Amino acid sequence: MRRWLGGVVAVGVLGACEPLDAGGGGTIGEVLFDRGFAFVRDDRNIYVVDDDGDPNSPQRLTTGGGAYTPSISKNGNSIVFVQRSGSTYSLQTVPTTGGPVATLLSTNDAACGSCTNFRGPTFSPDGRTIVFAFERTPGALSTLGRIAVDGSGFVELTPNAGGVAFGSPSFFPSGNTVVAPAGDSASYYNRLAFVPLSGGFAQYSYLGNEVLAAANRAVVSPDGRQVALDARLSSGSTRIFVGNVTATGLSGSLRRLTDYTASAVQESFPSWVSSTELGFLFNDSGGDPSIYRAPVSSTASSVTLAVPSANEPFYGPN
């Protein structure tokens, strides 16, 4: 059962739940958000900027810090994120319009034992479940898990992966399959895993060419025809790549999104704005990272600033 944090908390709702000393701290509500970016800033709180709002004045949804990798539900009503406090990891949700934070799952909860290092949670297209990467025990190879949005029904999706580590997942529009970076370790995601949620075995596509490994995430486009990922190159830079995809694998070669060539440029955390445009984190020469947009086409594109001073962006709903 979800545990509510921030705002007004009714003691009777808590029952025998764990103490709320590691919560994310929600706001009182009244945030104006319909569609746009969710992200974190240096204070490690969740912020949103509506497409019709002022990108220089984002609205804050949490106050407790420790927030990572937000993701917006398909109906645009909720954000799921990872909250870290010391060695404790939690999956939490907060309304996009502001309000209390709910904890779905935490390290050492009975449902998953010593599970830790949650990352990359994402909502299913129907909004009923959340899939995420985690470690069964500290230092173990990461696997994929699923939980209902009310905090019930935790299950491990890839218990027999045979020495494969998994990164942040993304749903195909059907809701039947997720794609996730995969490899021998979290530092070497050299392939994409296509994992059916019906219980079948994952299928893999190797990245190849100039791409050494996926850095953070791979995300499926709203129409289910393309995948975008942030890829580490031999130069030491990270670039956004896009490729055609089916529910069972890559189709053809990956191509760079932008036309930048300097090794100092870092592009990461791609998120689809539409099936023809991506938002992502852009950082040039160690400056302040910000969110940029770029059209997706067969040739490399130029970029446009969307939100300054932001990190780990996710766009939605789309």
- Do the beta carbons of residue 107 and residue 87 sit within 8 Å? yes
Residue 40, domain member (yes or no)? yes
- Of 288, 286, 267, 264, which Cα lies nearest the Cα of 278? 267
Any idea which of 26-30, 74-78, 106-110 has the lowest mean pLDDT?
Answer: 26-30
- Cα–Cα distance for residue pair 51/32, rounded to 1 Å: 10
Helix, strand, coil in percent for the chain, rounding step 5: 0, 50, 50
230: left (phi over 0), alpha (psi -120 to 50) or beta: beta
- Could you report the per-residue pLDDT of 32-69, keeping only the tens digit for each? 999 999 999 999 999 999 999 999 999 999 999 999 99
pLDDT at 15 over 70: no
Q: Which domain holds residue 71?
A: 1-12+22-156
Determine, yes or no, domain membership for 251.
no
Give dist(CA 54, CA 56) in Å, integer. 5
Q: With beta carbons less than 8 A apart as the criterion, state whether 132 and 145 touch.
A: yes
Confidence of residue 30 (pLDDT cuts 50, 70, 90): confident
Query: Residue 233 domain-assigned?
Result: no
Domain assignment present for residue 85? The answer is: yes
Is residue 52 in some structural domain? yes
Q: Check whether 265 has a pLDDT greater than 80.
A: yes
Is 49 inside any structural domain?
yes
Looking up residue 78, the CATH number of its domain turns out to be 2.120.10.30
- Total domains present in the chain: 1
- Tell me, yes or no, whether 68 lies in a domain: yes
The answer to whether 183 touches 137, Cβ cutoff 8 Å, is no
Residue 275 lies in a domain: no
Closest CA to 90 of 181, 153, 23: 23
Specify burial of residue 235 (Cβ count, 10 A radius: 0-12, 13-18, 19+). Answer: middle
pLDDT in tens, 141-196: 999 999 999 999 999 999 988 899 999 999 999 999 999 999 999 889 999 999 99
pTM for the structure as a whole: 0.91
